[in-house]
Amino acid sequence: MTFSTSTTMATDSVPPSASNSSDYYFEPDDPAFLETLQNTVLPGDLPVDATKALQQAQPLKRSYRESEDDRGDVYGAAHFGDFGEYMRRKRAKLQLQNAGIAGDETLEQAPQIFKGISIYINGYTTPSVQDLRQLIIRHGGVFQPYLDRKELVTHIITCSLTPAKVQEFKNMKVVRPEWLVESAKQGVLLPWRNFIFRHNERSEPSQGVRPLQKSLLATFSSSSQQQQQQQPNASSSTQKRKPPRPVIPIVKPKPAPDPLSNPLYTTDPKSSKEAQHVPYYAAHESNPNAQRAMENPAWRSAHTSIAADFIEGYYKNSRLHHLSTWKAELKSLLQEAQERAENGVVDILDSDVDGNGDGEATAGVDKVSAESEDLSDAGASGVSMRGAEFVLRSPTKGKDKGKGKAGPPGEDRVIMHCDFDCFFVSAGLVKRPQYKGKPIVVCHSQGAQGGTSSTSEVASASYEARGFGIKNGMSLQQARKLCPDIITIPYEFELYKQFSLKFYTILMKHADELQAVSVDEALIDVTSTVKRLRSKATPDTLASPGFDPAKELAEAIRAQVRRATGCEVSIGVAHNILLSRLATRRAKPAGSYHLVPDEVDEFLAPLDIKDLHGFGRSAKQKALEKLGVTMLGELKEKSKGVLCDALGKSMGETLYNAVRGVDEKKLESDKKRKSVSCDINYGIRFENNEQVETFIHQMANEVTRRMEEIKVLGRSITLKIMKRDPTAPVEPPKFLGHGACDVFNKQMGLFGPHGRATSDSKVIGDHAWRMLKAYNFNPKELRGIGIQIQKLEPASGAPTEPGQGRLSFQKVERTKPSEDAVKARREAISKALEEARAAEAQTPIVKEPLRSRSTSVQPPAFGLPSFSQVDKSVFNALPDDIRSELEIEYKRRSASPFPVPERASTTPATDAKPKPKPSPLTRNNALFPFPKKIFIKGTNRPNVKRITQQLAPQRAPAYSPNKKNLFMKRPGLAAWKVPETELRKLNIDPEVFAMLPKNIQREQITAARLLKTMGTIPEKSEHRVVLKPRKVDHGEVFRQPPPKARHVLPPSLKQQSSGGQKLYFTETDDIQNIIEQWVTRFKNHPPNGKDIDFFAKWLVKSVDREVATDEGLVRAIAVMKWWLMMVKRYFGQHEYGRLHDDEPSREEKVGEAWWAAFRNVKEQMDAVAKKRFGGKLSLR
Amino acid sequence: MSNNPLTFNQTVRGIAEFIEVAIHTILYVRQIYPAEIFVRRKKYDTPVFQSRHPALNEYISGAVKAITDELILGNVDKVVVVIKDKGDVALERFIFSVETMIQVENFNKDTSQISVENAMTPLSLGQYFRSFLVKLCMVEAQLGQMYLGEDVSFAIVIELKDDKPPTGSNPKEPPPWVPAEGQHTTSGAGDDAELHVIRAVNTGIINLSLVVQESEEKLHREREK
């Protein structure tokens, strides 16, 4: 190839280590290109010596130009059909043109910072290609107009790439134009990595321009590089964005139109029921932009959940995600502050606001602002709040918590609810004072982009905007309808974070206890501060009617926050949480309000149920439907029972208390985290299950990351699936939103290895995927996926290792040979080797050389030749310690793991080989302690079985190794054998038979056997029977088979008849006959025991309903009656025993025996009958 | 129709009907009520006596209805007619022992078309019932005459399988059953109670037998006389 010469030159002149930085871009796509890339040092990589860079870059350029120049006919006429010539010339001309620019004397000579860089510009860029080209050339770079040979290009400059190009350029250095611009401006070549083009930083005409706000993860991922950066401003300058076109609004608040009586503002209603309440949120039932976009597979793969970096991007831009993360972070900061307070390491800040004047408060504020500046410096790099810390003012908190009770109960408590006034807007306005007093909303979509159909959600609206009826949660399109001149400002998460931290820092100073409600909202308990203020107050101020220390404190806090952030905070003060929240409503905007207990009733009465925290639209609906009223004053008249009936027990009780201004809730300052989750319901559009699985695993990674952040493990996993409601359009009104959905939840235990709690992403992903698979949803229908991990437990404090226990081997002190010993040994070895070589040279027979190097240098367990191969002479020449070591090792090997018959192991195969002598060292040498110390008591054989059992994999069923047949091969066709005798019987010659292949053998033997048993081989039937599924006639109703009656066979009396046949008697008459014959035959003899048992068995069986049903009982009674009659007939006089004490006569004995037999059987029957009916049987 | 085997519901209805007839007969035979209130009728091709007292009839038919509900569910083990004296002491217990032999789906229970294979025909079941009644009329031969005058009364008790509560009635109404007195039940029967078997029939669907148990107390009293 043509370029090989120039690159090899470069390779020689450059140290190989210099190319390390580009390693990570390699993929085995184009070996030649990769080689070039690897061997080329680029100025953008590392600050390499400029001359070196020049040297190695020069050939690239020169060789190229020379080859063209040599032809000398660049400007000549092109030949017909020679397109290659045309292109070559065009390229050459362009290079000449470039040279012209570079050589232009009119332009000032710029520093040649781009020397050695060859740049291709892709697509539309800002600044334009022409400008960039000039810039490059003036600074000594090479501008490549075509990318037909990638190896010529070192960097690609672009502002946007198609997904296909993303793929194409994945191994190249793709950089944003800012790199060139900034470098040129600073006169230094900046590291290109800080300007890597990230694919998803794109503009989407249908969604408006994404604000270039640097987001959470991006700053994290690039922070490491930023540290190396000399000028930190360089990258941040890219964040500058043009302020949205100022539009002068007509500030003429129209009456807010109320499209529905009970409107709900959200951009993506989850159920169609909810959707009914959303007033013309979007212009279309189904988003036409989304439909159009989804038709483009490339777009799809880049911007929906299929995209590889989707989750990252999703969280970068999700406002809700930031808010929830911050809340969690704030909470953990609070918790840390409390822990520190409890541990007594608090340096109590000077927090005296309890003067009368503003002066001290100001001092406090100064302090706060100074601190918060520190904070903002420290935490400036990211949007996360990590790294900041709060200091809790009062360490008494810990003690209170120990008692489970915080602050005095009842009306003595002072709770403040502090809430920023439209936080996002006012934070945004700090930097844009020109918009103050105008209708402003904060949302993703900016300027006039997205037109009238933008579905971007309004996150916060200024009071002026609210005057138009704009509410949070509306879409931008709706807001525009209400106020066409609305001004949109972007999110500034970093600013919010800083403000929030300042806000909390101030609150911390005054609060006994603090509950973080959200970024811009907190509840604080200031009871003790207020008490102190009150105690310090002079008697006459106390007496004055307007004196209210709580309100003063609130105003002080407001002033501090205003000073620190420039934003207004409203504070509601009351004696419980519920009322303080309500008081804030009155306080807004920019005020404070103290709701004193006496005014509560009056205050509450005109409020609506919806105004209460925790009661929403559905509660109002219910109250309206079932109670007919929604005003708190009216609700107060309802009894608790009525409220409970209407709203459910707990809601009813809460409401009953709430309308009376009672709220028992405590501030939750240290609520433990119960779950970690990751929910994504935006942009979920899959095509097949593989994509879903990949995505789930990516989500699992995210969950794992979060779990690791707070250091927990989980035991339970819940999967939440949103599936498109069958009636909803495929593309919902919100762009890539979820639309109306059916929601499914599934929970299961989460088991890491050994059934432990886990945070492993693989395990979580597998569990989630398994659950999702169980639903068997069409992947195209999925609209939202959430993974939540519950039953958290701390990851630290190494849990006791469950599962396999450890054998307590005796610890071996491995004796380290001293330095001298090692040296001595080395010498000995080399000496031995020399001797061995000499010996080898002498011996005529070529013996297999001992691989002495491996034996002596490597640990003996590896690469040791088998003992029979060891050259005796060499072996003997080894120093004693090494020899004994080898001996032991050989011994050990022969002993395990495959026990060889003893003789074989001890007797070498050839006499020439030495017999390893049992050296005294074997016993005591501690290097191989294996067979020691694993003896069962009493025996001195190692308990190998137990050990192997323990070593067996735990989960697998423990097959004991002696169950050989489990692993034995099942006899297959190959093992199939017919005994010779049978073959002879079948008239088959065994020898010939043995020669046949197995399948023919089978055929033959089967035929022969059939011939023998049936006489003929059955003919194959002429017509083939085609098996067909039974046709189901759908007109005919399929009937189940009718139920079958169950008849119990009566127990039978078996008797051997004279003819050798067995007779079975079940009928009453027959059995009566048999009994009669029996008694008659034995009337002069006592009954035979066997006979009694014979009848007794039948009779007892018959009485048992389970065996013989009640008919059996009837039969048994009849038979017994007959037997009784017979006994009475023959032995009637003996029924009641003897009347005399003499020796009983034979007749008497016989009679008594019969009666005894009869009574015995009767008793047995009674016992059975008693179970069923109680009492006994009567034979009357 | 009579040549087809019984269906499940036919069997239940047949048995319930028989129990009702038998209760009347028992009341007559054991002279619980004066003979005048009974009228002679023909049932199962045999003369039977039926009470004419509307309140009594209503009580009996109501009880039988409730029994039927339980029979359909297959929960019944025994239906017992307890003859008791004025101190509520059981003297005689006429036990209709029931054994449900097969499980039939509800839809099969209801459709009268579906006969149970191999079961008894309705005709022969009627004949069996006649034989029951004939034997019942002659039970006096075994039990002796009741000379208790007007002190005697009776109760209808059901005993269910496995201590199940009665469930068969209309779920909206309270169950028509109250817990029975211990001495009236099988578990309360003394060891010396005596059991007389009257008749049994195996229909193959629900097997029925009728037995009479004389209680310990009755036997004791008779011995004392």
Q: Tens of pLDDT along A955-969? A: 444 444 444 444 554
Q: Is A1174 in Cβ contact with B213 (below 8 Å)?
A: yes
- Which residue's structure tokens are 């609305």? A486
Please give the pLDDT value at position A22.
Answer: 42
Lowest mean pLDDT among A603-607, A669-673, A1116-1120, B13-17: A669-673
Please give the pLDDT value at position B50.
Answer: 92
Top-ranked range on mean pLDDT: pick from A318-322, A749-753, A762-766, A863-867: A762-766
Q: Is A1110 in Cβ contact with B207 (below 8 Å)?
A: yes
pLDDT classification of A375: cutoffs 50, 70, 90:
very low
Residue of higher predicted confidence among A812 and B158: B158
Determine the residue type at A414.
V
pLDDT tops 60 at residue A293? yes
pLDDT classification of A13: cutoffs 50, 70, 90:
very low
Is B95 among the domain residues? yes
pLDDT tops 50 at residue A21? no
Determine the residue type at A614.
G
Rama region for A1126: left / alpha / beta (φ>0; ψ in -120 to 50; rest): alpha
Is B81 among the domain residues? yes
pLDDT tops 70 at residue A57? no
pLDDT tops 80 at residue A312? no
Is B60 among the domain residues? yes
Q: Does A1044 touch chain B (CB under 8 A)?
A: yes
* SS3 (DSSP) at A638: coil
List the single residue in B97, B118, B207 with the smallest CB-CB distance to A1044: B118
Contact A325, A384 (CB under 8 A): yes
Q: Is A1175 in Cβ contact with B196 (below 8 Å)?
A: no
**Cα-to-chain-centroid distance, residue A880:** 59
pLDDT classification of A411: cutoffs 50, 70, 90:
low
* Chain B residues inside the 8 Å CB shell of A1044: 102, 116-118
Q: Does A1049 touch chain B (CB under 8 A)?
A: no
Q: How many CA atoms lie within 13 A of A1041 on its CB side?
A: 4
3-state secondary structure B9-44: HHHHHHHHHHHHHHHHHHHHHCCCCCHHHEEEEEEC
Q: Is B102 in Cβ contact with A1046 (below 8 Å)?
A: yes
Buried b (16+ CB within 10 A) or exposed e, A828-867: bbeebbeebeeebeeeeeeeeebebeebbeeebeeebeeb
Contact A118, A153 (CB under 8 A): yes
Q: Is A1174 in Cβ contact with B97 (below 8 Å)?
A: no
| A1048 min Cα distance to partner chain B (Å) | 8
Burial group, residue A890, by CB count within 10 angstroms (0-12, 13-18, 19+): middle
Please give the pLDDT value at position B96.
Answer: 92
Q: Does A1037 touch chain B (CB under 8 A)?
A: no
High-pLDDT (> 70) share of chain A, %:
57
| A1158 min Cα distance to partner chain B (Å) | 17
DSSP letter assigned to residue A420: E
* Chain A residues inside the 8 Å CB shell of B8: 1043
Rounded (5°) CA angle A1030-A1031-A1033: 135
Would you tell me how many other CB atoms lie within 10 Å of the CB of residue A338?
21
What pTM does this model have? 0.38
Catalogue the long-range contacts made by A1097-1105 (C-beta closer than 8 Å, 24 or more residues apart): A1098/A1051, A1098/A1052, A1098/A1053, A1098/A1071, A1099/A1161, A1099/A1164, A1099/A1165, A1100/A1161, A1100/A1164, A1100/A1165, A1100/A1168, A1101/A1051, A1102/A1050, A1102/A1051, A1103/A1165, A1103/A1168, A1103/A1169, A1103/A1177, A1104/A1168, A1105/A1172, A1105/B97, A1105/B99
Give mean pLDDT, residues A998-1009. 83
Lowest mean pLDDT among A63-72, A860-869, B43-52: A63-72
Determine the residue type at A463.
Y
d(CA A182, CA A192): 11
| A754 min Cα distance to partner chain B (Å) | 44
Residue among A1115, A1127, A1114 nearest A1066 (CA): A1115
Is B84 among the domain residues? yes
Give mean pLDDT, residues B99-128. 76
Please give the pLDDT value at position A211.
Answer: 44
**Cα-to-chain-centroid distance, residue A445:** 32
- Report the chain A residue with the minimal C-alpha distance to residue B113: A1042
List the single residue in A1105, A1113, A1173 with the smallest CB-CB distance to B213: A1173
Q: Does A937 touch chain B (CB under 8 A)?
A: no
Lowest mean pLDDT among A610-619, A806-815, A988-997, B94-103: A806-815
Is B3 among the domain residues? no
- Report the chain B residue with the minimal C-alpha distance to residue A1176: B194
The model's pLDDT over A858-905, given as tens digits with 9 standing for 90+, comes to 444 455 666 666 677 777 777 777 888 777 777 776 655 444 444 444
Give mean pLDDT, residues A818-832. 67
Q: Is B104 in Cβ contact with A1043 (below 8 Å)?
A: yes
Burial group, residue A818, by CB count within 10 angstroms (0-12, 13-18, 19+): exposed
Query: Which of B82, B102, B195, B196 is best to mutate for the A interface (most A CBs within 10 A)?
Result: B195
The model's pLDDT over A379-394, given as tens digits with 9 standing for 90+, comes to 334 455 555 555 554 4
Q: Is B118 in Cβ contact with A1172 (below 8 Å)?
A: no
Residue among A871, A862, A877 nearest A908 (CA): A871
d(CA A308, CA A305): 8
Encoded tokens for B192: 């010396």
List the single residue in A1045, A1110, A1175 with the smallest CB-CB distance to B194: A1175
d(CA A129, CA A123): 8
Give mean pLDDT, residues A1120-1125. 88
Please give the pLDDT value at position A825.
Answer: 66
Q: Is A1177 in Cβ contact with B194 (below 8 Å)?
A: yes
Please give the pLDDT value at position A50.
Answer: 44
Is B208 among the domain residues? yes
pLDDT tops 70 at residue B206? yes
Give chain A's length.
Answer: 1180
pLDDT tops 80 at residue A407? no
List the single residue in A1042, A1110, A1114 with the smallest CB-CB distance to B114: A1042
pLDDT tops 70 at residue A19? no
For A674, A756, A757, A793, A802, the CA distances from A799, given in Å and listed in that order, are: 20, 9, 10, 10, 8
Q: Does A190 touch chain B (CB under 8 A)?
A: no
High-pLDDT (> 90) share of chain A, %:
0
Encoded tokens for A1058: 């004279």
Lowest mean pLDDT among A559-573, A721-735, B27-41: A721-735
Please give the pLDDT value at position A26.
Answer: 43
pLDDT classification of A1040: cutoffs 50, 70, 90:
low
Lowest mean pLDDT among A49-58, A183-192, A579-588, A1080-1089: A49-58
A592-594, strands of its sheet edge to edge: A513-518, A521-525, A415-420, A569-574, A592-594
Please give the pLDDT value at position A809.
Answer: 55
| B102 min Cα distance to partner chain A (Å) | 6
Q: Is B211 in Cβ contact with A1113 (below 8 Å)?
A: yes
Contact A586, A611 (CB under 8 A): no
- Which residue's structure tokens are 């005709």? B123
The model's pLDDT over A86-120, given as tens digits with 9 standing for 90+, comes to 878 887 888 788 777 766 655 556 777 887 788 88
Residue B132: which CATH number?
3.30.900.10
Q: How many CA atoms lie within 13 A of A491 on its CB side?
A: 27
Quick one: which H or E segment has residue A1110?
Answer: helix A1105-1131
| A291 min Cα distance to partner chain B (Å) | 51
d(CA A976, CA A744): 56
| A1123 min Cα distance to partner chain B (Å) | 16
Query: Which of B184, B211, B213 is best to mutate for the A interface (most A CBs within 10 A)?
Result: B211
Q: Is A1043 in Cβ contact with B102 (below 8 Å)?
A: yes
d(CA A322, CA A216): 8
Which residues of chain B have a Cβ shorter than 8 Å from any chain A Cβ?
5, 8, 95, 97, 99, 101-105, 108, 114-120, 142, 186-197, 199-205, 207-209, 211, 213-214, 216
A605 Cβ partners below 8 Å, 6+ apart?
Answer: A631, A632, A633, A636
Q: Does A1175 touch chain B (CB under 8 A)?
A: yes
Lowest mean pLDDT among A395-409, A415-429, A532-546, A1155-1169: A395-409
| A1118 min Cα distance to partner chain B (Å) | 9
d(CA A1010, CA A35): 75
* Chain B residues inside the 8 Å CB shell of A1173: 95, 97, 186, 189, 195, 211, 213
pLDDT classification of A808: cutoffs 50, 70, 90:
low
Contact A120, A153 (CB under 8 A): yes
When the pLDDT of each residue in chain A is averaged and rounded to a whole number, the result is 68
Please give the pLDDT value at position A1079.
Answer: 84
A308 Cβ partners below 8 Å, 6+ apart?
Answer: A698
Residue among B149, B122, B131, B136 nearest B205 (CA): B122
The model's pLDDT over B148-178, given as tens digits with 9 standing for 90+, comes to 656 788 888 888 887 677 665 556 666 677 7
* Chain B residues inside the 8 Å CB shell of A1178: 142, 194-196, 214
pLDDT tops 50 at residue A511? yes
* Chain A residues inside the 8 Å CB shell of B208: 1110
Q: Is B116 in Cβ contact with A1042 (below 8 Å)?
A: yes
Quick one: which H or E segment has residue A593?
Answer: strand A592-594
Please give the pLDDT value at position A514.
Answer: 79
B90-100, strands of its sheet edge to edge: A1176-1177, B194-202, B206-214, B90-100, B76-84, B153-160
d(CA A951, CA A960): 12
Would you tell me how many other CB atoms lie within 10 Å of the CB of residue B62?
12
Is B2 among the domain residues? no
Residue of higher predicted confidence among A257 and A748: A748
pLDDT tops 50 at residue A363? no
Q: Is B209 in Cβ contact with A1174 (below 8 Å)?
A: no
d(CA A685, CA A301): 9
List the single residue in A1045, A1113, A1174 with the smallest CB-CB distance to B200: A1113
Please give the pLDDT value at position A625.
Answer: 78
Rounded (5°) CA angle A365-A396-A613: 70
- Report the chain B residue with the minimal C-alpha distance to residue A1165: B195
Is B41 among the domain residues? yes
When the pLDDT of each residue in chain B is averaged and rounded to a whole number, the result is 83
Top-ranked range on mean pLDDT: pick from A50-59, A521-530, B33-42: B33-42
d(CA A201, CA A196): 11
pLDDT tops 80 at residue A785? yes
* Chain B residues inside the 8 Å CB shell of A1040: 105, 108
Q: Does A1111 touch chain B (CB under 8 A)?
A: yes
pLDDT tops 70 at residue A1033? no
Total domains, chain B: 1
pLDDT tops 80 at residue A568? yes
Please give the pLDDT value at position A169.
Answer: 81
Please give the pLDDT value at position A1014.
Answer: 75
Q: Name the residue range of residue B198's domain.
A: 8-224
Q: Is B119 in Cβ contact with A1178 (below 8 Å)?
A: no
pLDDT tops 70 at residue A361? no
Lowest mean pLDDT among A445-459, A1007-1021, B71-85, B177-191: A445-459
Interface of A with B in 84-103 (CB under 8 A): none
